[in-house]
């Protein structure tokens, strides 16, 4: 079982395949297993690394380090430990923030960033969201299992496999409750003023049926990041990589191709403030342009 000692804790990871390194980061309270379908496909021609964040999956249950800044530091130290050259960071939900923050902190070490269903500023700025977050945290303290059983189904598209939802709930219950500090931190997080300073290729992937994070969020953020792009998977929810794995993998491969070209062409290829969504439509899960 491969592990890495990172910032005073031990992180579990899986490492498969060879080629361009892809580092997959999971969202709040789950684990690298949410990327199983991507590992099976992408490891045929890439080096695929899935990381369990501190307190989650098979990583150690550290007693501190549960903020977005802490997770970003863990990510950068992990990349350093594995000596990865220009890896692509692919972050689901809150991990999209870790990936973007890593690119802001160390652009010379990152090949590209692909945020997936990332909430970013939504949970700190949307009307009523801070109150909703406080209510969620209160329910988690009094009835964690019941609250997660009610909450997690909304992450998926209507008609999603109940076994998939149950598996996600089990992962969350297996994680340390200290991960709730990330929810608190996210309620005060807004990276938008700093996004124009990103100097690595960025391509957002987002489920069109995501009821947790509206499409306005990645659209706004992509418009702020030089050269960023957005692909919408219209029949997927907040866990788009699991809702429609084959469609997601096709979209991810397209995003990887575009970001690799931008990275090889150098900064001049992505410093113009535009999004590919504006002038080069990307297809969605059903083949519609966005």
pTM of the model: 0.92
pLDDT at 261: 87
pLDDT at 18: 98
3: left (phi over 0), alpha (psi -120 to 50) or beta: beta
Taking the CA atoms of 236, 122, 53 and 56 in sequence, report the sign of the dihedral they define: negative
d(CA 101, CA 225): 13
pLDDT for 267 equals 64
CA-wise closest residue to 95 among 33, 26, 35, 183: 26
According to the model, what pLDDT value does residue 268 have? Answer: 56
Residues 85 and 21 sit within 8 Å (Cβ to Cβ): yes
> What is the rounded distance in angstroms from the CA atom of residue 216 to the CA atom of residue 262?
25
pLDDT in tens, 173-193: 999 999 999 999 999 999 999
Residue 42: alpha-carbon gap to chain centroid: 17
Residue 239, token pair as written in the block: 């866990």
As beta bridge partners, residue 238 has none
CA dihedral (263, 264, 269, 275) positive or negative: negative
Q: Pick out the chain residues at pLDDT < 70.
A: 267-290
Q: How many CA atoms lie within 13 A of 22 on its CB side?
A: 31
pLDDT in tens, 200-227: 999 999 999 999 999 999 999 999 999 9
- CA gap 178, 185 in Å, rounded: 12
H helices of 266-286, in order, are 276-279
User: What local confidence, expressed as pLDDT, does residue 185 receive?
Assistant: 97
Contact 140, 180 (CB under 8 A): yes
The per-residue pLDDT for 270 is 57
d(CA 55, CA 44): 30
């Amino acid at each position: 079982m491969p592990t890495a000692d990172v910032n005073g804790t031990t992180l579990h990871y899986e490492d498969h395949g060879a080629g361009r390194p892809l580092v997959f980061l999971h969202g709040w309270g789950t684990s690298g297993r949410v990327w199983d379908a991507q590992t099976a496909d992408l490891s045929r021609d890439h080096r695929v690394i899935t990381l369990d964040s501190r307190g989650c999956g098979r990583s150690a249950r550290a007693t501190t380090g549960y903020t977005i800044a802490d997770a970003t530091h863990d990510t950068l130290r992990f990349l350093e430990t594995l000596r990865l050259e220009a890896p692509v960071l692919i972050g689901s939900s809150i991990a999209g923030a870790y990936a973007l923050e890593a690119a802001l902190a160390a652009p010379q070490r990152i090949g590209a960033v692909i945020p997936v269903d990332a909430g970013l500023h939504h949970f700190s700025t949307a009307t009523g969201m801070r109150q909703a977050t406080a209510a969620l945290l209160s329910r988690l303290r009094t009835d964690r299992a019941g609250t997660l059983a009610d909450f997690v189904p909304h992450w998926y598209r209507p008609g999603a496999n109940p076994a998939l939802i149950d598996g996600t709930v089990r992962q969350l219950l297996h994680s340390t409750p200290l991960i709730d500090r990330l929810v608190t931190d996210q309620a005060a997080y807004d990276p938008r003023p700093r996004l124009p300073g990103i100097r690595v290729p960025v391509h957002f992937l987002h489920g069109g049926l995501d009821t947790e994070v509206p499409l306005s969020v990645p659209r706004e953020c992509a418009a702020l990041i030089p050269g960023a792009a957005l692909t919408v998977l219209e029949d997927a929810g907040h866990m788009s990589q699991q809702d429609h794995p084959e469609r997601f993998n096709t979209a991810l491969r397209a995003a990887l191709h575009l970001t690799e070209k931008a990275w090889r062409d150098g900064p001049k290829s992505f410093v113009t403030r535009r999004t590919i969504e504006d002038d080069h439509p990307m297809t969605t899960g059903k083949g519609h342009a966005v």
